[in-house]
Amino acid sequence: MAFYNKIKWILGILLIFVLIISTNLIDKNNFVRVRDSVVTIYEDRLVANDLIFEMLTSVHQKELALSVSDTTFFKTQNPKINDNLQALVSRFEETKLTSEEAKVFSDLKKNIESLVAVERQVSNSDYGNNPKIVNHIDELKDNLNDLSKIQLSEGSRQMSISKRAVDTVELFTQIEIYFLVFLAILIQIIVMYKPKDKA
C-alpha cells in the first residue's frame, strides 16, 4: 500500500506542477502583449503625434507669413522650415504605419514636395495671394489632421489590446485559483481514501 500512496502523491504534485506551468506560460504571453502594446503606443503613436504637431507648427508659420505677405520670411526662414519639414517626414517614416496611415502619409509627402516646388517657382512679390500655395498649405493641414486622428484611433486600439490581455490574465488567475482549490480537495480525497481490505 505504501507504493500506491507514493504514486498518488506523485500524480497529485505533478498535476499541480503542470497547472502552474501552463498558467504561467499563458500569463507570460499576455504580459508580452501588454508590453508590446504599451511600447507601440509610445513609439508609434505618441512620438508620431509629436512629429505631426511639429510639422503643423511649421505649416502654420508658412501660413502666417503668407497671410501677411512676409517676403523676408520666404527668403530667410522658409528654406529652414522646408529642411525641418523634410527631417520631420524622415523621422515619421521610421514609425510603424498602418495601411491607412501610409496612404495619408504618402499624400502628405507629395503635398510637401508640391508646395516646395511651387514656392521655388513663385517670385517674391507673388507670395501674398498665390492660390496654389494656399491650396497646398490647406492640403497639408488636412493630411496632418487626418494623421493625428489616425494616431488617436490606433492608440485607442492598442489600449484595447492591452485591456483584453490584462482581462485574460485576470480570468486565468481566477480559473487557476478555482482549479487549485479543486485539486487540493481532490488530493485530500485521494490521500485519505483507503480501499477496504478484502477479507
Residue 124 has a pLDDT of 56
d(CA 112, CA 86): 8
d(CA 4, CA 58): 80
Question: Looking at the chain, how many residues does it have?
Answer: 199
Residue 199 has a pLDDT of 55
All 3 cell numbers of residue 16?
Answer: 499541480
Rounded-to-10 torsion of CA 124, 130, 134, 136? -80
d(CA 143, CA 109): 9
Nearest CA-CA partner of 1 in 153, 195, 158, 167: 195
Low-confidence ranges of the chain (pLDDT < 70): 1, 40, 42-43, 123-129, 187, 190-191, 193-199
All 3 cell numbers of residue 9?
Answer: 502523491
Residue 11 has a pLDDT of 79
Residue 54 has a pLDDT of 94
Element (H, E) at 94: none
Q: In sequence order, what are the residues at sequence separation of 6 or more whose Cβ sits closer than 8 angstroms to the Cβ of residue 33?
A: 161, 162, 165
In this structure, the number of other CB atoms found within 10 A of the CB of residue 9 comes to 13
Place of cell 477496504: 196
Is residue 116 within 8 Å of 79, Cβ to Cβ? no
Residue 1 has a pLDDT of 52
d(CA 75, CA 79): 8
